[in-house]
Structure 1
Amino acid sequence: MIDLDHPTVQGGAHAGGACCARLECIAGPDAADLGQHLRHAAVLAAKAIEFGIPALMRDDWKNVFEPEEIAESIRRIT
């Protein structure tokens, strides 16, 4: 589970000074933007689940692999 309230995700410094191996503790020049990227990814994942589950529960679920359906799914999600 990603801790969106972790200091590094919020743009602060890691409390211990040494970066741990967890995703939310990545340090570097883009560390301040990490929280924003994680939140955006979470929103996209929620939309994918919201629209994907009903499509997978249909009798013709294999149509989710058709190029047109993939393109439509991307349009709905983003």
Structure 2
Amino acid sequence: MARTAVIYHSEYLNHGVDDHPENKRRLEAVMRFLEEEGVLRAPEVKVLEPERAGIEEVMLNHDVEYIEYVRALSDIGGML
């Protein structure tokens, strides 16, 4: 029975902020390490693709004002 989930999608590699800790090279290195060490093949680990959250799910953790703020920044290409 899996006890640890690794949530991963190749779309994560498109997060193009090279000078930020959340960058493509770091994610590639982490996933490569986990694969080389056999972690991703361990019976207690399951690799899952994320499901897109609906607005109702997002609102469980964020208030409407913040969601609108993020949407507005997204429309103009802004950074959080």
- TM-score category, normalised to shorter length: under 0.3
What is the TM-score with the length of structure 2 in the denominator? 0.26
Q: Please, what TM-score do these two structures have when normalized by structure 1?
A: 0.27
Name the structure with the higher helix share. 1
Instruction: Please tell me whether Structure 1 or Structure 2 has the larger radius of gyration of its CA atoms.
Output: 1
Which protein is richer in strand relative to its size? 2
